[in-house]
């Protein structure tokens, strides 16, 4: 059956791929990969029957295969359901549901790692383009926005005035997901919405008031150690750096290179600086305690002046 190793150029796929491309759905079909069931069906033009990828029946010739996203499409094109694999029984009326479910589950269980669309496509045995399209159709978001945008997250926030200006504290039921400092409440709220475009965000709801209180106390220098749960998506490296920052004692500072050494990666000072700059929960992760080795207090996402004042308060209360 060597003919199946030749380039398959099935008809009727121009809507998902250029016709000159090898359709990535051919591989799961040829391997009778039951994992691909629920992601597409194929019709065989010589028999007029459509099957799911894992159908145990004889493999069709590549030039006689047509791929369909839905069983409905297959029927509309004049194909009948295979009695052996019963393709309508795998929930394909809603095409790709199973693959999209797997993709979103994979994104959730790999929240601390970068996942590319290509990788996700391999996990789900779909072409990247196809997966992107189905994901969007079913979830309403692209996979990356699903991951980035906080889809399914319910966030409550509070803004309060402090000696350092406005403080915004946002949290889910699981932990603090954003702490911002600024001059304008409006700007801080807008930034929060930009950070989590797909989340459900509400003012003064659900934010655990004791967390806000703890942060305000901390700003006044009354509560040196701030030990609050954090609910953000980050890479494993970012987590490592942030945990190292939380171990810097109140009132002390470290150079970027010192933090890099502390996490066992002495050459990663630049990456440490980036992890500090992208810290979404200032104060809870005290990135202000990292300073340039050359002296001075260095930059701060929320203003160099605020960093200076934070460090001055800590110095006094130490
Ligand atoms: Zn079949």
3-state SS class at 195:
helix
- Concerning whether 287 is annotated as a catalytic residue, the answer is yes
User: What Rg value do the Cα atoms of the chain yield, rounded?
Assistant: 27
Catalytic hit among 177, 276, 282, 287: 287
pLDDT the model gives residue 6: 28
Centre of ligand 1 from the C-alpha of residue 314, in Å = 70
Q: Which two tokens stand for residue 186?
A: 């409006």
pLDDT the model gives residue 12: 31
Centre of ligand 1 from the C-alpha of residue 14, in Å = 24
Centre of ligand 1 from the C-alpha of residue 81, in Å = 7
Would the pLDDT of 264 be above 70? Answer: yes
Would the pLDDT of 2 be above 70? Answer: no
pLDDT the model gives residue 113: 65
3-state SS class at 248:
coil
Domains identified in the chain and CATH numbers: 2-90 (3.40.10.10), 97-148 (1.10.10.60), 234-318 (1.10.10.10)
Centre of ligand 1 from the C-alpha of residue 42, in Å = 9
Measure the CA–CA gap between 182 and 188, rounded to whole angstroms. 7
Would the pLDDT of 21 be above 70? Answer: no
Q: Residue 160 carries which DSSP code?
A: E
Centre of ligand 1 from the C-alpha of residue 126, in Å = 19
pLDDT, one tens digit per residue, over 95-148 is 566 777 778 778 766 765 667 788 888 888 788 888 887 777 666 667 776 666
Residue 37 CA, distance from chain mean position: 25
Cβ-proximal residues to 316 (8 Å cutoff; 6+ apart), any chain: 221
Q: Which residues pair with 230 in a beta bridge?
A: 176
Measure the CA–CA gap between 305 and 300, rounded to whole angstroms. 8
3-state SS class at 196:
coil
Question: Quick one: average pLDDT of 259-282?
Answer: 90
pTM for this entry? 0.57
Give rounded-to-5 percent helix, strand, coil for the chain: 40, 15, 45
H helix count then E strand count, the chain: 12, 10
- Concerning whether 282 is annotated as a catalytic residue, the answer is no
pLDDT, one tens digit per residue, over 33-55 is 887 787 788 999 999 999 998 89
Question: Quick one: average pLDDT of 73-98?
Answer: 77
Could you tell me if 166 and 216 are in contact, meaning their C-beta atoms sit under 8 angstroms apart? no
Centre of ligand 1 from the C-alpha of residue 151, in Å = 37
Centre of ligand 1 from the C-alpha of residue 39, in Å = 15
Catalytic hit among 51, 82, 276, 282: 51
Of residues 112, 114, 126, the one with CA closest to residue 35: 126
Centre of ligand 1 from the C-alpha of residue 2, in Å = 21
Instruction: Find the angle CA(129)-CA(134)-CA(140) to the nearest 5 degrees.
Output: 115
Q: What is the mean pLDDT of the chain?
A: 80
Would the pLDDT of 5 be above 70? Answer: no
Residue 265 region, left (φ>0) first, then alpha (ψ -120 to 50), else beta? beta
High-pLDDT (> 90) share of the chain, % = 27
Which of the residue ranges 103-112, 160-169, 201-210 would you say has the lowest mean pLDDT?
103-112
Q: Are strands 49-51 and 41-44 parallel, antiparallel or unpaired?
A: antiparallel
């Amino acid at each position: 059956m060597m003919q199946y190793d030749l380039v398959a150029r099935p008809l009727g796929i121009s809507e998902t791929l250029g016709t000159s491309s090898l359709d990535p759905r051919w591989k799961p079909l040829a391997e009778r990969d039951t994992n691909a069931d629920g992601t597409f069906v194929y019709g065989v033009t010589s028999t007029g029957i459509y099957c799911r990828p894992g159908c145990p029946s004889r493999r069709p010739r590549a030039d006689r295969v047509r791929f369909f996203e839905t069983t409905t499409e297959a029927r509309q094109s004049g194909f009948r359901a295979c009695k052996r694999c019963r393709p309508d029984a795998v929930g394909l009326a809603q095409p790709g549901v199973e693959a999209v479910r797997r993709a979103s589950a994979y994104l959730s269980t790999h929240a601390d790692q970068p996942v590319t669309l290509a990788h996700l496509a391999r996990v789900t045995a779909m072409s990247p383009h196809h997966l992107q399209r189905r994901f969007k159709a079913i979830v309403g978001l692209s996979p990356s926005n699903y991951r980035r945008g906080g889809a399914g997250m319910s966030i409550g926030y509070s803004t309060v005035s402090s000696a350092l200006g406005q403080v915004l504290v946002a949290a889910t039921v699981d932990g603090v997901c954003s702490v911002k400092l600024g001059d304008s409440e409006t700007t801080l709220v807008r930034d929060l919405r930009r950070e989590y475009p797909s989340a459900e965000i509400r003012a003064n709801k659900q934010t655990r008031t004791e967390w806000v209180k703890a942060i305000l106390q901390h700003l006044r220098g009354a509560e040196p150690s701030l030990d609050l749960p954090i609910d953000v998506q980050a890479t494993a490296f970012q987590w490592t750096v942030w945990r190292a920052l939380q171990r810097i004692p109140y009132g002390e500072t470290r150079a970027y290179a010192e933090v890099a050494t502390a996490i066992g990666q002495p050459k990663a000072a630049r990456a440490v600086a980036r992890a500090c700059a992208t810290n979404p929960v200032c104060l809870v992760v005290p990135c202000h305690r990292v300073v340039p080795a050359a002296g001075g207090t260095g930059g701060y996402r929320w203003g160099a002046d605020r960093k200076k004042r934070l460090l001055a308060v800590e110095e006094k209360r130490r």
